[in-house]
Structure 1
Amino acid sequence: MRIIRAADCLVMPWKNGGGTTTEIAVAPEGASLDNFDWRISMAHVGQDGPFSSFPGIDRTLSVLTGSGITLAFGDGERVRLDRSSAPYPFAADRAVDGVLVDGPIDDLNVMSRRGRWRHRVERLSGAGVLTAAEGLLMLVARKGDWLVNGAALPAGDNAILEASGHVELVVRGNEAELYAVWLTMKTRGTLS
Structure 2
Amino acid sequence: MKILCAADHKVMPWKNGAGSTTEIAVSPAGAGLDTFDWRVSMASVVEDGAFSAFPGIERTLAVLEGEGLVLEVEGRAPQTVLKDGVPASFPGDAPTRARLLGGPVVDLNVMTRRGRYAHRLRWQRIDAPTTLTPAEGALLLLARTSGLAVEGARLKAGDAVLLREPARLETQGTGEFYLVELWEAAGDLDK
Fold match by TM threshold 0.5 = yes
Q: Give the equivalent residue in structure 1 for 2:161.
A: 159
Change (3 A) 1:111 1:76: closer
Q: Give the equivalent residue in structure 1 for 2:60.
A: 60
Gaps of 5+ in 1: none
Aligned sequence identity (%) = 48
Residues 77-126 of structure 1 deviation map (CA, whole Å, 9 limit, x = unaligned):
20011114212211111111100001000010000001000011111111
CA distance in 1, matches of 2:82, 2:90: 16
CA distance in 1, matches of 2:68, 2:87: 12
Q: Give the equivalent residue in structure 2 for 1:172.
A: 172
Q: Give the equivalent residue in structure 1 for 2:85.
A: 85
Give the match's secondary structure for 1:7: helix
Question: In the alignment, is the contact (CA less than 8 A) between 1:143 and 1:177 conserved in 2?
Answer: yes
Equivalent residues in 2 for 1:10-49, closer than 5 Å: 10-49=10-49
**TM (normalized to structure 1)?**
0.92
Q: Give the equivalent residue in structure 2 for 1:184.
A: 183
Equivalent residue letter for 2:185: K
Change (3 A) 1:84 1:153: closer
Where do 4+ consecutive residues of structure 1 move more than 3 Å? 189-192
Report the aligned-residue RMSD: 1.5
Q: Are residues 1:117 and 2:90 paired? A: no
Question: In the alignment, is the contact (CA less than 8 A) between 2:64 and 2:84 conserved in 1?
Answer: no
Equivalent residue letter for 1:38: W
